[in-house]
Amino acid sequence: MSKPEPSTTTNFIRQIIDQDLRSGKHGGRVHTRFPPEPNGYLHIGHAKSIVLNFGIARDYQGLCNLRFDDTNPHKENIEFVDSIQADVRWLGYDWDDRLFYASDYFQQLYDFAVELIQAGKAFVCDLDSEQMRTYRGTLTEPGRESPYRTRSVEENLDLFARMKAGEFADGERVLRAKIDMASPNMNMRDPTLYRIRHGVIHHQTGEAWCIYPMYDYTHPVSDALEGITHSLCTLEFEDHRPLYDWVLDNISIPSHPQQIEFSRLNLEYTVLSKRMLTQLVEEGFVEGWDDPRMPTIAGMRRRGYSAASIREFCQRIGITKSDGLVEMGMLENCIREDLDAHAPRRMAVLHPLKVVIENYPDEKSETLTTSNHPKDETMGVREIEFCREVYIDRADFREQANKKYKRLVTGGEVRLRNAYVIKCEEVVKNNQGEIIELRCSYDPETLGKNPEGRKVRGVVHWVSARHGIKGEVRLYDRLFGKADAGRVDEGGRFTDNLNPDSLRTLTDCCFEPALGSAIAGEQYQFEREGYFMLDSREAAREEPVFNRIITLRDSWAKIDKPGG
Ligand code: ATP
Ligand code: MG
């Protein structure tokens, strides 16, 4: 597995860390964390955060923890816990023995909440959620204090203990911080710290707890308990930072990590909201979380993207505070550059048309040797079989065409790549007038050299009809047809933006024999067609199934630009 490379570019977060190291803040240490909620699979947006957090730890000789933010048990499960670990590892990162769960801290979180109550900084509130909303006020009007805010410490301690003991129903009571109902920051208007959730079995703690701490309370405490120095999160948490700091300033914990926000990744032609991705899976718009069209790490891995190219993309987009939509072309360029350099070349015919070479002896066949990569000799050579019957692609033949058509025409000549020049002598059709076969001749003097005194139109790829392997190809394209895929028109759904042609399946393809030993994880360029990889989920099938990773060139560049 490829190892992450050191980052060569700086960003505003690294500059803050440099400054902190100079001033000795946080004891000269760097310790970050990646804190996913196990309520879905990781996507390319998470990759940005992973590369940032683990990359900083590595470049500063620090540490990065993996921590599951698992305080919302009804949406979380163990499948997500497992897939997240597999995906972070596959991306090339390791948390050693520092795998944590926020639920590891449920007892400590409870004890700190008791401290807050004892200090008169938290109270049990009986308002229901509707009343809470009206009491909270608006951005322009201050909120009103809950009538329960003046409960005595003793009463609060008693009620909180009974909440934990399961005496109250869901929603009947919550624990709230006592901060400031007039604060211009809504997050500081006595935010909820704990809520009651009966009847869910938590994937880590089972039925031990029926009260669960809120994210805004759990996160700072977990960070501090783990000795995190820099807690990096996305911009929507900027307004939550005063609460993050308030929590740490009001409990007896010496460490105080620094929260720093950066902009989240938004990518054209896809969605990176877990709610939407969950919907695509649950409503069957895709095959699953690892559908090769999904922007998930699992989907990209199955599609054939390498971990190195995903990391490279995350480096190129950089870390800033300004939100925007990153061009899909950026990601695709990283994928293509990586594949162009590393993928061995092979030949595969996706829409086969039989060619019979009439002057080639029926019983003969030849083993030809050809290079695996035109620019990289170290990738070696392979053998291909040539005989009287080969397939070419239907798109590489026309009965008539002008000079611009660089492929085979009736009476014209083309080179079969890595082999001989052939000439089309006759077109065979069925009763419906469809072309079913070409009768050709070959020039035995053209192996590895050009014919004398005449020009051939071009070069086409081919596979021996007798030696080739039959199989399936899945042509994947962008999942959404609209750049701003999450934007919904009045009365519409985001799924209206799906690209109806994001998957086309070809079942009658023919692959050169060397592809018989292909395994999932090895990417190939099918010459003139694109980059492909064996589908890991179909490995048990007798006939191979290849996924198209990406086309050779960007065919979308001129089509659907944002606003165009
Ligand atoms: P949710 O809506 O479920 O909270 P989330 O996208 O915040 O979804 P988390 O599992 O909480 O998902 O995210 C884990 C970490 O990854 C967080 O630190 C979050 O900021 C970061 N992250 C999530 N999405 C992106 C994104 N699109 N770009 C950059 N970082 C992201
Ligand atoms: Mg989140």
Residue nearest to atom 2 of ligand 1 (CA): 274
Asked if the model's pLDDT at residue 487 lies above 50, the reply is yes
Mean predicted lDDT score pLDDT of the chain: 96
Quick one: pLDDT at residue 563? 39
* Whether residue 62 has its Cβ less than 6 Å from ligand 1: no
Of 32, 44, 49, 266, best ligand 1 pocket probe by most atoms within 8 Å of the beta carbon: 49
Asked if the model's pLDDT at residue 2 lies above 80, the reply is no
Do 274-342+471-550 and 353-466 share a fold? yes
* Whether residue 370 has its Cβ less than 6 Å from ligand 1: no
**Cα 436 to middle of ligand 2, angstroms:** 57
- Whole-number Å distance between alpha carbons of 40 and 58: 27
Q: Is 159 annotated as a binding residue?
A: no
**Cα 226 to middle of ligand 1, angstroms:** 20
Quick one: pLDDT at residue 316? 96
Quick one: pLDDT at residue 558? 57
* Whether residue 264 has its Cβ less than 6 Å from ligand 1: yes
pLDDT (mean) for 82-91: 98
Domain residue extents for the chain? 12-267, 274-342+471-550, 353-466
* Whether residue 278 has its Cβ less than 6 Å from ligand 1: no
Q: Is 18 annotated as a binding residue?
A: no
366 to 96, 383, 386, 419, 467: CA distances (angstroms):
54, 10, 5, 10, 11
Quick one: pLDDT at residue 562? 43
Residue nearest to atom 10 of ligand 1 (CA): 36
3-state secondary structure of 423: strand
Quick one: pLDDT at residue 556? 75
pLDDT (mean) for 229-235: 98
Residue nearest to atom 29 of ligand 1 (CA): 264
Asked if the model's pLDDT at residue 426 lies above 90, the reply is yes
Q: Is 339 annotated as a binding residue?
A: no
* Whether residue 45 has its Cβ less than 6 Å from ligand 1: yes
* Whether residue 37 has its Cβ less than 6 Å from ligand 1: yes
Q: Is 265 annotated as a binding residue?
A: yes
* Whether residue 234 has its Cβ less than 6 Å from ligand 1: yes
Residue nearest to atom 18 of ligand 1 (CA): 233
- Whole-number Å distance between alpha carbons of 254 and 66: 22
Quick one: pLDDT at residue 564? 33
**Cα 5 to middle of ligand 1, angstroms:** 23
Q: How confident is the model at residue 560 (pLDDT cuts 50, 70, 90)?
A: very low
Count CA within 13 A, CB hemisphere, residue 179: 26
Q: 28-37, 123-132, 373-382, 553-562 — which is least confidently predicted? A: 553-562
pLDDT (mean) for 461-471: 98
What's the pLDDT tens digit per position in 372-423?
A: 999 999 999 999 999 999 999 999 999 999 989 999 999 999 999 999 999 9
Quick one: pLDDT at residue 559? 52
**Cα 46 to middle of ligand 1, angstroms:** 6
Ligand nearest to the CA of 37: 1
Q: How confident is the model at residue 1 (pLDDT cuts 50, 70, 90)?
A: low
**Cα 25 to middle of ligand 1, angstroms:** 27
Instruction: Give the distance, in angstroms, between the CA of residue 538 and the centroid of all CA atoms in the same chain.
Output: 21
Quick one: pLDDT at residue 554? 83
pLDDT (mean) for 58-64: 97
- Whole-number Å distance between alpha carbons of 299 and 549: 11
Q: Is 82 annotated as a binding residue?
A: no
Q: Is 264 annotated as a binding residue?
A: yes
**Cα 63 to middle of ligand 1, angstroms:** 20
Residue nearest to atom 23 of ligand 1 (CA): 46
Task: For domain 12-267, give the CATH superfamily.
Answer: HUPs (3.40.50.620)
Going by their DSSP bridges, the two strands 31-34 and 63-68 should be labelled as parallel
Beta bridge partners, 440, equal 357, 424
One-letter amino acid at 562 equals P
Quick one: pLDDT at residue 8? 74
Neighbour count for residue 21 (Cβ, 10 Å)? 16
Q: Into which CATH architecture does domain 353-466 fall?
A: Beta Barrel (2.40)
* Whether residue 233 has its Cβ less than 6 Å from ligand 1: yes
Return the percentage of the chain with pLDDT > 70, whole number: 98
- Whole-number Å distance between alpha carbons of 239 and 340: 44
Its CATH class, for the domain covering 274-342+471-550, is mainly beta
127 to 144, 192, 212, 457, 507: CA distances (angstroms):
12, 11, 18, 81, 62
Asked if the model's pLDDT at residue 342 lies above 80, the reply is yes
Task: Find out whether 177 and 116 touch, Cβ atoms under 8 Å.
Answer: yes
**328 is written with which tokens?**
């899909």
Beta bridge partners, 435, equal 429
What's the pLDDT tens digit per position in 173-221?
A: 999 999 999 999 999 999 999 999 999 999 999 999 999 999 999 999 9
Asked if the model's pLDDT at residue 555 lies above 80, the reply is no
Length in residues, the chain: 564
